[in-house]
Amino acid sequence: MQKLEPGEGWSSHRPQGIDESTKKRRSNFSDALPAAGPLPPEDEHAELRLGCFEITGKKRPRPQSLNLVKSITPNAVHEQAPLAEAKTFEIGGGSASQPFPADNSELSKQPRTLEVAAKRTKQQRPPSQSPAEAQASQAAKDNGMNHNATLDPESQEQSERREREYFKPYIGEPCGPENRFLVEAPLGRGSFSSVFRCSDTKGRGKEYAVKFIRDNPGLRKATEAEVRLMRRIRTKAVEKDSEGANCLLGLASLETFMHHGHLALIFHLQRYDLRTALRRGGRGFPLQDLERYASDLFLALRALRAIRIIHTDIKPDNLLMSLDKKSVKLSDFGCAVDTQDEVQIKHIRRAYISSYRAPEIILGQSYSTRVDMWSAGATLFELAHGQVLFGEDSNNKLLYDMLNTCGPFKKAFATAGKNALKHFNLEGDFKRKRTDGNEQLLPMRRFAKPLTPLLGRLQQKLQDVKLKDFAGLLGQCLVPEAIDRLAPEEALQHGFLRNSQ
């Protein structure tokens, strides 16, 4: 496929020669906004991502096993229910974790615009937060409070504004350079974008996943920076680690275009993200599947580590399954950090909130590419068990769950970082914030024996060696001190993955 340079051959006119069947599928559409200009060329001085620091030091012995509060029960590791029993849809290009119906029979029952699907998703998940809302929410989490206790009086108005910013095409709507793409079906929607399956009229009907960013100047600017970073990752990763680079979801050759004020990113089509697969299967993946998926994940992280990029948002939503279900690719680099760009690191730490975050992020310590290894361990547990390993009610609750799962933190680690004294005293004892607002001081020795040993709860349904190896791999990813965690290349040599290479 010939690559078009930005601005080359772009047109706001509809393509000629569209057949009558396509015309019948279209509905009247209100006057479109004038198309915005192409993505600006890369600005070498633009602020791309917030930086961080690499942790160095002498390695200490790693623990060989991990005791987890939640166990991988026999029901969680038996053969996964066929995904074909549920209606499938393809997805690609970023976090769009809320699926829309993609079956043509269902779409034919809907209005020709896709607003019904959009409203359905709006009811299923809360609206994304504004910067002010996010700051208030994070402050509540830092203090161990329920961040949903108070509501912004303007939240309804903000929610309606956000809803208007989403791309709502009609089926068969042309878009892209020379209107070469036709919108075929919705794939999903996230907080900042919606994803649609589009066919290429000049590529023999080949289908792509096209991610349309909300019509919002701030989001558009952030996405432009993400695109520039993705271009750099693609170029550098192929040079440093071509095998690992193949496990990163990159832009298709045409990359981007503007359509009615929406910046659109073109990705090769994938089946769906692994959270959707978990939801459809109703249980965790069998270990034989996790061998392949874990290998692909660590290959992707190896490539990113080689070029000093931290993804910072590893989770099932950002692992996309191939159409044949045999491999996964790591996607969504909107939160990625280039470690060579060391500006405003504190803002990254504040914005990075999830149950997959590493403890050094919560404590406000400097961090390295090994935060992704912690997130990978938490993600792999969830893919096997079917439920998240750590809750995300608050940062304090996250740390409490980590202590109960991974064992005690060393005093030097627990008391380091600008946020450490919010959760630990100077002796390294944990300040548990209770739901009634009171604080309970828990000596660190209390966590010497985690609540429930993982291996003690595993049954003999699958091969003992594989179960033990899998638990061992998780244990070496989920070590509180980053310097003791496995690096991606070390994880790939672990016994659990050795036969999958």
Q: Is 433 annotated as a binding residue?
A: no
Per the structure block, which two tokens stand in for 251? 């832009």
Q: Which residues pair with 99 in a beta bridge?
A: 188
DSSP code at position 155: H
Helix axis angle, 371-385 to 464-477, nearest 10°: 150
* Residue 229 · residue 333 · CB < 8 Å: yes
Q: Is 176 left (phi over 0), alpha (psi -120 to 50) or beta?
A: left
- DSSP letter (8 states) at residue 273: B
279, two tokens: 């939801």
Token pair 């095998």 is at which residue? 243
CA atoms of 52 and 230, how far apart (whole Å): 18
Q: Which ranges of 318-394 would DSSP assign to H, the alpha helix?
A: 345-351, 359-363, 371-385
H or E segment at 240? helix 217-240
Give whole-number Cα distances, 53 to 338, 343, 366, in Å: 10, 10, 6
Placement of tokens 């970023």 in the chain:
94
User: Nearest CA to 191 among 115, 128, 263?
Assistant: 128
Q: Which positions ≥6 away from 161 have C-beta within 8 Å?
A: none
Cβ proximity of 260 and 84 under 8 Å: no
Specify the amino acid at residue 92. G
329 and 322 in contact (C-beta within 8 Å)? yes
Report the binding-site residues: 211
Report the binding-site residues for ATP: 211
